[in-house]
Amino acid sequence: MKINKLAPGLGVEITGVQMSELEGEALNSLKAQVYENGVAVLRDQELSPDQHIAFAKRWGGIDVNPFFPTNSGWPEIAEVRKAEDQKDNIGGGWHTDHSFDAIPAMGSILVARELPPVGGDTLFSSMGAAYDSLSDGLKQTLGSLRAVHSADHIYQPDGYYSKTDLAGEMTGQDLSTRAVHPVVVRHPVTGRKVLYINGAFTLHFEGWTREESLPLLRYLIEVGSRDEFQCRVQWQPGSVAIWDNRATWHLAMNDYHGHRRVMHRITLTGEPLAA
């Protein structure tokens, strides 16, 4: 296993291993890289849908997102796709997956299946580094706050994703997503304090109105999206990214209009988050 850093504080690129063969201590080593670095990109993988699912099950449980189309025959795999004639993409703003669930997802395993000739990179940002950069006074204030998360405004029929490939999936869905989490959580594996809000799904602080919450939320989102906390994943055929939702945000670049992009995602089961 050869490991190269993607950025000083976030992300690693791994070559020299095949995920389909990883188990035991080798798998534990990969998990450690993801937990410590937020995201790991594995290159030159030959991973069928069945192997994708088998690997995820060796890692832990699988969460199925009911709003995404599944890869035919493999309901555990969500297809994240953009057609040639679509302008809006899925995941085009800073977010962390499933923060609107009472038990948020641990992370995701994203496999590149069809890529545009150029563009379509994914950016990641470290929420541990973002938290560390805050003043002691703000850290103290945030330590007492909880925030309300929901995805109803994203997935409802006239929501943001109504112009993406998810439009047909959302028709007739029972939309009711809501969860409350501490604004600052301790990572359940590393123990590091991380900022746990995001621009897509965090609505307001518990006990605060949306209007009262927005100034502080906007500031925290600005901090979290600063260049110095980021790394960039440039997709190639055979690339797979595994990331930790508790420790990172991500953003899918929407710079490949006129081309098709298809990714296969499996979401990994998490655990309750605590301050």
Catalytic residue among 192, 250, 261, 264: 250
Max CA separation in the chain (angstroms)? 52
- Which SS3 state, helix, strand or coil, does residue 31 take? helix
Q: Phi/psi of residue 39, each to 5°?
A: -150, 140
95, 98, 204, 246: the active-site residue: 95
Q: Which residues contact 61 (CB under 8 A, 6 or more apart)?
A: 268, 269
Contact predicate 202/217, CB 8 Å: yes
Rounded Cα distance between 68 and 62, Å, is 14
Task: Tell me how far apart the alpha carbons of residues 235 and 16 are, in angstroms, rounded to a whole number.
Answer: 17
Cβ neighbours around 249 below 10 Å, total: 29
Phi/psi of residue 268, each to 5°? -95, 135
Tokens encoding 131: 């938290």
**Amino acid in the structure at residue 154:** I
Return d(Cα 95, Cα 127) in angstroms, integer.
11
Measured in whole angstroms, how far is the alpha carbon of residue 162 from the centre of its chain? 20
149: annotated active-site residue: no
Choosing from 52, 63, 81, 97, the catalytic residue is: 97
Q: Which residues of 215-235 are buried (b: 16+ CB within 10 A; e: fewer)?
A: ebbeebbebbbeeebbbebeb
Distance between start and end Cα atoms, the chain: 34
Clarify whether 250 is annotated catalytic: yes
Residue positions annotated with a catalytic role: 95, 97, 250, 265
